[in-house]
Chains A and B, each alone.
Chain A
Amino acid sequence: MSLWDKLENIDSRIIYLLIWIVVLTPLISPIGLPVSISENTIAYARTIDQLPPGSMVVLSFDFGLGSLGELYPIAVATMHHLFSRPVKFAIIAIWNQGPLVAKMIIDELNPEKTYGKKYGEDWIFLGWAPGGEVAMRALGQDFWKVFPTDYLYKRSVSEYPIMQKLKSANDVALLISIETGTPGVDEWARQWGPYNVPMLIACIGVSAPGVTPYLQSGQVKGLLPGLRAGAEYELLIGRKGLAVASADALSTTHMIFLIFVVIGNISYFAKRRGIK
Chain B
Amino acid sequence: MAWYKRIEIPIAITIICALIQIIPYFIVMGPAVEEFMDNAVNWEMLVAAGALFVGAISLVLVHAPRIVKRQTHWQYSLELLVLMALTIIVGLPIREIGLGMDNAIFTFIVDNILTPLDSSLYAMLAFFITSAAYRAFKARSLEAALLLVAGSILVFRNAPLGTFLIPGAADLGDWLFRIPNMAVQRAVIIGGALGAIVLGVRTLSGYERGYLRGGGV
B116 to chain A, nearest CB (A): 9
**CB-CB under 8 A for A33 and B95, given A141-B41, A146-B45, A257-B130:** no
Q: Does B49 contact A216, Cβ atoms closer than 8 Å?
A: no
When each residue 233-275 of chain A gets 1 if its CB lies under 8 Å from chain B and 0 otherwise, what string results? 0000000000000011011111111101101110011000000
A162-206 vs B: 1/0 string, CB under 8 Å?
A: 000000000000000000000000100000000000000000010
A130–B41 alpha-carbon span in the complex (Å):
11
Q: Which residues of B are found within 8 Å of A213, using beta-carbon distances? A: 182, 185-186, 189
Q: Which residue from B95, B126, B152, B163 sits with its C-beta under 8 Å from A258?
A: B152
Shortest Cβ distance from B188 into A: residue: A210
- Contact: B42 with A138, CB < 8 Å? yes
CB <8 Å contact, A135 and B186: no
Starting from the known contacts A36-B167, A65-B115, A209-B181, 14 additional A-B residue pairs (CB-CB under 8 Å) come to: A33-B160, A36-B170, A66-B121, A69-B123, A100-B114, A130-B46, A134-B44, A210-B185, A212-B177, A251-B159, A254-B158, A261-B134, A264-B138, A268-B140
A87 within 8 A of partner (CB)? no
The stretch of A12-20, A77-85, A113-121 that contacts the partner chain = A12-20
Q: Is the CB of A38 within 8 A of B118?
A: no
Contact indicator B156/A258 (Cβ below 8 Å) = yes
Interface residues of chain A, those whose CB is within 8 Å of chain B, are 10, 12, 15-16, 19-20, 23, 33-36, 38-39, 64-70, 96, 99-100, 103, 129-132, 134-135, 137-138, 141-142, 145-146, 154, 186, 205, 208-210, 212-213, 215-216, 226, 228, 231, 247-248, 250-258, 260-261, 263-265, 268-269
By a beta-carbon cutoff of 8 Å, the part of chain B in contact with chain A is 38, 41-42, 44-49, 52, 93, 95, 101, 110, 114-115, 118-119, 121-123, 126-127, 129-131, 133-135, 137-140, 148, 152, 155-156, 158-164, 167, 170, 174, 177-178, 181-182, 184-186, 188-189
User: Is A254 a contact of B118 with CB atoms below 8 Å?
Assistant: no
Distance in Å: Cβ of A203 to nearest Cβ of chain B: 13
What residues of chain A lie closer than 8 Å to B135, measured between beta carbons? 264
Determine which residue in A67, A186, A228, A257 has the highest number of CB atoms from chain B within 10 A of its CB, and name it: A257
- Find chain B residues with CB under 8 A from A135 CB: 45, 48
Q: A19-B127, A69-B123 are in contact. Are A36 and B158 (CB under 8 A)?
A: no
CB distance from A113 to the nearest CB of B (A): 18
Given A216-B178, A248-B160, is A19 in contact with B185 using a C-beta cutoff of 8 Å?
A: no
Residues in A with CB closer than 8 Å to B137 are 261, 264-265
Q: B119 contacts which chain A residues (CB < 8 A)? A: 65-66, 68-69
B185–A212 touching, CB < 8 Å: yes
Residues of A within 8 A of B118 (CB): 64-66, 68
Contact B114 A145 (CB under 8 A): no
Query: Shortest beta-carbon distance, B47 to chain A, in Å?
Result: 8
Total A-B Cβ pairs within 8 A: 163
What residues on B are CB-neighbors of A248 within 8 Å? 160-161
Residues of A within 8 A of B101 (CB): 99-100, 103
Report whether A134 and B164 are in contact in the complex, using a CB–CB cutoff of 8 Å. Answer: no
* A12, A33, A263: the one within 8 Å of B164 (CB): A33
Please determine whether A256 and B130 come into contact, CB atoms closer than 8 angstroms: yes
Closest residue of chain B to A229 (Cβ to Cβ) is B158
Q: Are A261 and B152 in contact (CB under 8 A)?
A: yes
A253 and B101 alpha carbons, distance in the complex (Å): 36
Given the known inter-chain contacts A213-B185, A216-B178, please indicate yes or no for A69 contacting B122, CB distance below 8 A.
yes
Q: Which residue of chain B is the closest to A268 with respect to CB atoms?
A: B138
Contact partner, A263, options B45, B110, B134, B167, Cβ 8 Å: B134
CB atoms of B131 and A15 under 8 A apart? yes
**Distance of A183 Cα from B152 Cα, bound (Å):** 29
Contact A254 B155 (CB under 8 A): yes
